[in-house]
Each structure stands twice: as structure tokens, then as C-alpha cells.
Structure 1
Amino acid sequence: MACPSKPMITSLNPLTNLNQTKLFSAYLHLDLPISSNSSNGRRKGMPLRKTHLLKAGVIPSPVKRVGGGRREINHGAIGLQMWSLCGFGYWVQGFRCFPWLALNFYMSHGLGLSPSMLQLVQSTGNLPMVAKPLFGFISDAVYIGGGRRLPYISIGAFLQALSWCTLALVPTHAGRFPTQMACILLSNLGASVTEVVSDALVAEFSKTRSAGELQSYAFAAVAAGGLLGNLLGGFLLLKLPKVNPMFFAFSVLLTIQLVLCLTTKEVSFYITQASNHHLPQNSLKENLSKQFTALIAVITETRILYPLLWIVASNAVVPLLSGSLFCFQTQCLNLDSSVIGLSKVVGQLIVLCTTLSYNQHLKSIPMRTLISVVQVFYALSFISDLFLVKQINVRLGISNEVHVLCISSLAESLAQFKTLPFTVLFSRLCPLGYEGSLFAFFASAMCLSSIVSGVFGVGLASLLGVTSENYSSLPLGIVLQVLAAFLPLVWISHVPMMMNLELQKPRRQW
């Protein structure tokens, strides 16, 4: 499946303290009073920088005049637009499980793919996700029609809508598999563009919010979309004779997202658009060169590099056996699509609950401690798959349906939640104007680690002789999976010990 590559809202208040007001004033050229103890509104030693004035008419100003010639920013309008657009975008991202559930059943039952081949197709389909750094890199450096976020989200939504609509029109038989595979790659290409630019948008806007607020909101939107997508997908697979209508329905949702992006003006980027003001004044080659140099500087900084290496390695070292388990559940245990779909719903509920808990309580726990506990539970959660394959749950009086419904998605949910603290950390440490590049690199590295994990899983299943007719060696593979999941605890020291991410404000400009 695609890398999916984020709700308790604590505050929507506008900027109130003087430093934040001066930051807005410097970037927007507002005539705001600055205290006398500051040297022209900047700290000592900070070089003067050229500014890029936004073109009138391209983006409607969220600034209005008040008495005495002073002006203030209409934060409410910006915030509402930002929350609505991002909320729907992340919800659609989570809802991608709806057509993917149908696609997995079609490839497993309609095309008769083996467990290893199914997992290989899933991993190969994720290859466009590895190109995320390029998309984030370009979105940071190149403006399209006066914007550098929404135009790219529109492009990604268009590519996805085109691919899923094509899948809906293509006949579902083995002779069309090359065309279907091309559509899968095109869909994930569009999804990679949309996801990385959306993450950059959230990272930019979150610098004026409390730590983790927007990230938790985005995670919650993804979980809500996944919850409904799996629930509806499992139900429709039982009712519909073909999967094509499900593909078409999702393409309609993507078209709605495309229309929203095209009709929304990019008013949420005043800070970062101005902070990266030098880019529109230079040639494309100079912009890309500066952006690449800055990205290398950001990534190689120790406080970003070490946590990044840990989260990527913690995924890559665990062999993924999802294809084998999916085929075992549907072909050997004969579980229908509604049970599989509902199990994913439970998984998304777990993500939603843990996201709420993180935003309310867990983010006050030292990050290294929190991640260590999550990793331990992640490793132990694979034991539930061992119980299912060995049918220990049946001997304990728990039916296969109940076991799969309640427990089988736990590992996937914990893996998804584990990225949230790192997303918050990187958004607070990333310099202004380079969020797209950093989060694109982060997302790409995560997708690459998932592909490596999937390839390891395919190799392990093949080595153990796991096939559609023989699952006798699958328990050994799960045991090795559990042991591999404990390995990242050996280098857990790469995860920082910090309790309050709220204190980590981005100060440095590259």
C-alpha cells in the first residue's frame, strides 16, 4: 500500500507576543510599533536581508487597516481556510485505503497473485514515493502562479484522479495488469506530491501554533479518513460484483479536492513566502542550487540527522510480512472483506486515540522514553499474528474473526503513530522556508525504508518457503520479525531527550 506517509485543538489564538508580532511586521512590511530596546526590530548580529514584496492581485491580503494608520492581520480567516483545506486533504489521504482495500482483494482473488507477488507489487507501487525530496525541493524553490504549495497539491490531486478514473474504466482481468500497474504508479506519484507539499504546508503554519497541534490535527484527519474508508470499503466489497465503482468513487473525491485547491487562494503563506523571498528574484538554476545547499545543511545538522536515521532504520530492519498474512487471512482462514475492513477501522481508531493522548498528555513525556515504550509495544504486537497463524486464539476460545478484528491492526497502528513525535520535532527544528525540502526528504526516507522492509519480507517468505498452499513456515518468519523489531532499541540514544517540544523554536536561517 501507499506510504502514508496528524485532534485535540488547544489554541487558535493569533500571535500575541512582541517577538512574533515583529516577525510578521518584518516580513509583511506592516507599520507596527516596535519597542525602543530593539534595534530596528532585529537582534544584534543578524544581517539585514532583502525582501520580496508580494504582487498585488495574486493573493488577497489578510491585512486590514485600523485606527491611526496601523494595520493588523486577519488571522481568523487564514486559520479557518488553513484548517479546512488541510483537514479535507489529509482526510482524503487517509481515505486512500478505500480503493486500496478493493485493489488488494482484486489482485489476491481476481488475479490470483501469490503472497510474495502481492507484497512485491505493493512495494513496487511505492517507488514514486522515493522521489518526494524532488517534489518538496521544487515546491520550496519554484512558484507556480504566485503560489508554491496549492498548485503542487492541485497537480498531485489531478494525477491521482486521472489514475483511479482510468482504473475504473479498465476491464478487470489479468491481460490488463500492465495498464493497471501503470495507473498504480501514477496514483502514488500524485499522492507523493500531495502528501509532501501538505506536510510542508502544515510545518510552515505550525510555527505559529503550539507544539504538535497541527500535526496532531493532520494525523487525526488521516485516521478519520482511514476509519471511514476501511469501514465503507469492507461493506461495499460484499455488495458490489466488481471493484471498478469504488475506484470511480475515489476519483470523484480527488476531483473535489482538486476543485477546492484551484478555487482557494494561497493566503496562508505570508510568513514563509516572504522568508524565502529571494527565490523569485533569481533564476531557476540559482534557486534550485541555493535550495539544495540549504537542504544539505539542514539534514546534516546533528539534532535532525540522528533522529531521522533512527526512525528510518527502525522501519527498514523489520521484514514486512503483510502480503503473506493478508493471503493467509483471506485464503486459508476464509475471512471476508468486511472483517478485514473492520480490522483496519479498529486500527485507525487506535491511531486516533493515541493521537489525542499525545496532544493532551504524551508530548510532555521525554521523547526517548516515549519512543522506547512505543517500540517495545510495536515488537510485541507481532505476537498476535503468531497466535493467529498457530491458532492459539481458537484454543483460548477467541474466534479468528474477533482476533483479526480487535488485534491484527495493532502493529500497523503503532508504526503509524510512532512517526508523529518525529514529525513534530522536525517541524519545530526546521528553518523557515525549507519545510517542503526537509519533509519531502523525511517522507521519502520513510517510504524507502518501507520498501526495503517489504523486500526483506518477500525474501524472508521465499527463503522460508511460504506460498499460497503452504504457510507452515510463517510462524518462524513472525518470530524473526519480533526479534528484528527489538533491534532499534540498541541505538535509541539517537533519539533526543526532551520533554517540551514547545521550546524548540526555529531560529536559524540557512
Structure 2
Amino acid sequence: FQWWLSLSTVFYQMFFTSEVVVEFLTSPLEVLAWGSMATFQGAREVLPSLMAFAMLSNLGASITEVAKDALVAEYGLRYRINGLQSYALMASAAGGVLGNLLGGYLLLRTPPKISFLVFAALLSLQLVVSLSSKEESFGLPRITETSSVLKSVKQQLSNFMEAIQADEISQPLIWAVASISMVPLLSGSVFCYQTQVLNLDPSVIGMSKVIGQLMLLGLTVVYDRYLKTLPMRPLIQIVQLLYALSILLDYILLKQINIGVGISNEVFVLCFSSLAEILAQFKILPFAVRLANMCPQGCEGSVTSFLASALCLSQIVSAFLGVGLANLMGVTSSNYSNLSSGILIQSLAALV
């Protein structure tokens, strides 16, 4: 679902539209979704409506995410700012820290209705700020004549197809997508185990997300300062190995090995639960920087959008593989005995 929605954003760059237009189209969807869940009790308590509004919110978020990556690529190359993606990820991580802290506080202190209202208000503020920004401030060219627009679309599509067929672009892109889609995602099953079997407080899991975002922020700073000049292949190999090993932290939790060495479940989850997720996000950064720098002039945003769209697809495939693996291993809400074997398979898939 996200794949088709995100892929449409490739044409955003072909038409040379700006982030203002994207926010105008997508923020109302998220405001409508979260505002409805805050206003109508049935919307947040009846499963079909809850799923529908969550999907509506995801529609806006997925398009905005891909458009953001494209805009960063275009802006960085236009003003010759090498590695602007690193700073964008730093800002995203910092926002994740603040967002998780705010969300955790609201969940502890207020009913869900207030949380939804606050989220809808923040999205409305984002929309207002975007609409008040001038399109000229982005420095992107504008095309007004219909014939020129159609000609530009054909030219952009031709350049885009030529760019992704080049080995130096297609091979890293294929590897990045395959490295995610081939790894079954079992984070949902692990979360259920943490809450239903270990009876961990949701605030502990929420704080682990905050610590994870802080780790991501630190990793991004280190990459920008010291690692971006390193050859890409050995860097990615090291990160992928660390990612595969970090998955085994869930195995340690499932087998309660941490208890044997004197580390409580709360402390272990707080410090290590989000490590694999953060490494999975971080390993995409070198690819984004490389593709943005190697793209032919004029199609940087299109290729970056395509990368983000392909990553959305790979995450969906990974999630479906995780569900299938959990069912195959017989993992249910009352039986997690085989989940540890699934974690080992997940780690092995990451190594492959």
C-alpha cells in the first residue's frame, strides 16, 4: 500500500512542485485521521474505523516522507551541500526524541483522546507553517505552460530510467532494498512478549524508543564527522554485521540470559531494545548520500524518491515475512516458546 502511494511522489519531482504543495495535500489527511479519533469515541474504539483512520494517516505520512527525501536531495545538490541527508537524519532523530518524550508523557498523564488532539494540533501547525512559506524560498524551478510541463515530464522520466539502469546506482539500490525485504520482521511478536509475558510497563518500552533515537542522533553525527569519507562497502558490511548481531539481543531477552548476569528485564529493554531498529535506519544513510551524489544532474530528487519508495515496499515485504514466520513457528498470544528460533532465523537472514 505504501509502495504505490510513495511511488506517486516520484512525479512530484518531475513536476518540480515544492514541499508546500505536498504538505497541503497530505497534512489534512493526517489531521482528519487523528482529529476524528480524538473527537469521535467510536473511531478510536471500533477496530475497523481505527484501522481505516490509521491507514489514512499513514497515507499522508508516507507521501510526506518520500517528498522530504526528494527535497533534501534537490536542495543539497542545488546549493552544493554535500551530505545534507546526514543533517536531515539528525533533525529527524532529534524530533523523534522530543516526540517520544511528549507522547510518553501524554500517555501517562492524559487519556488517549488528549493525545490524539495534541497530535492533530501539531499537524495543523505544520500545515499552517508550510502554507505560509513561499515556494520561491526552496529555490526550485517552476514551469507554468502546459506544453512545457509535459515536455519536462517526458524528459525527467527518460533521465530517471537512464539513471537507475546505471550499475553504480542500480546495484546499491537493489542491495539496500534486498537487505531489508529479506529479513522477516518479528518486532511485533517481541513487543507482545515484552508486554504480555514479561509484563513490562509501556513507559519502559516508550523510553527505549527515546534512547534509540538518541543513539541514532549520535551515530549520524559520528558518520558525518568521521565515517562519510570511508569506502562504502566495508562500512556497510560492518553496519550489517552489527545489525545481525543486535537482533540476537531479543534472543537474550527471550532466554532470560540477562537475568543470569544480573541485568533486569526493564534495564535490558531500556538500553538495548531499539538497537536493531536504529541500525536498520542508519544503514540507509550511506546509500542515500551516495545515490544523491552520483545521480545525473536533474533527476536527483526522482532517484531519491524512488529509493524511499522502494524502501517502503521492502519494509512491507519484511513485515509480511515476519507474520508468516511467526505463524509457521506457531507463535501465538499464549505461546512464545518458538519465538527464540524465529529470532535466530531473522539474525541469519540479516547475515545473508
TM-score by length of 2: 0.94
In the alignment, which of 95, 99, 113 is matched to residue 225 of structure 1?
95
Unaligned runs of 5+ in 1: 1-126, 488-510
Separation in 2, partners of 1:464, 1:215: 39
Instruction: Determine which of 307, 315, 318 is the counterpart of 1:453.
Output: 318
1:183 corresponds in structure 2 to 53
What CA distance in whole angstroms lies between the structure 1 residues aligned with 2:145 and 2:279? 42
Distance in 2 of aligned mates of 1:186 and 1:174: 13
The one-letter code of the counterpart of 1:142 is: F
- 2:122 corresponding residue in structure 1: 253
Q: Deviations over 1:115-165 (max 9, x none)?
A: xxxxxxxxxxxx23442121221x12336xxx5332122212222122111
**Is 1:134 matched up with 2:3?**
no
CA distance change for structure 1 residues 129 and 170 in 2, over 3 Å: closer, same or farther? Answer: farther
Question: How far is 1:232 from its partner?
Answer: 2.6
For residues 333-361 of structure 1, what are the alpha-carbon distances to aligned partners after superposition, in whole Å with 9 as ceiling and x for unaligned? 11111101110011101100000001100
Higher relative contact order (CA 8 A, sep 6+): 2
Q: What are the Cα deviations for residues 404-450 of structure 1, in whole angstroms up to 9, with x where unaligned? A: 00011100010011111111111112233323322221111101111
**1:163 aligns with one of 23, 29, 33:** 33
Deviation at 1:226, TM superposition (A): 1.1
Taking the aligned partners of 1:428 and 1:236, their CA distance within structure 2 comes to: 41
Measure how far apart 1:286 and its partner are: 4.4
Could you list the per-position Cα deviations for residues 246-275 of structure 1 after superposition, in whole angstroms to 9, with x for gaps in the alignment?
1211111111111111111022443x416x
Q: What is the match of residue 327 of structure 2?
A: 462
What is the aligned residue count? Answer: 351
Other structure's SS at 2:9 match: helix
- The match for 2:74 is 204
The answer as to 2:109 corresponding to 1:244 is: no
Alignment partner of 1:439 is 2:308: no
Sequence identity (%): 50
Letter paired with 1:474: L
- How far residue 469 of structure 1 moved from its aligned partner, in angstroms, is 0.6
Q: Does 1:282 align with 2:155?
A: no
2:236 to 371, 387, 395: 371
TM-score, with length taken from structure 1 = 0.66
State the alpha-carbon separation in 1 of the partners of residues 55 and 256 from structure 2: 37
Q: Distance in 2 between matches of 1:226 and 1:441?
A: 24
Gaps of 5+ in 2: none
Which has a greater percent of helix? 2
RMSD: 1.9
CA distance in 2, matches of 1:172, 1:356: 44
Q: Distance in 1 between matches of 2:43 and 2:251?
A: 34
Tell me by how many angstroms 1:211 deviates. 2.0
Q: Which amino acid aligns with 2:163?
A: V
Inter-partner Cα distance in structure 2 for 1:445 and 1:153: 21
What is the one-letter code of the residue matched to 1:141? M
Does structure 2 conserve the Cα–Cα contact (< 8 Å) formed by 1:142 and 1:148? no
Q: Partner of 1:465: helix, strand, or coil?
A: coil
Q: Does the aligned pair in 2 maintain the 1:164–1:250 contact within 8 Å?
A: yes
Distance verdict in 2 for CA 1:174–1:363, change over 3 Å: closer
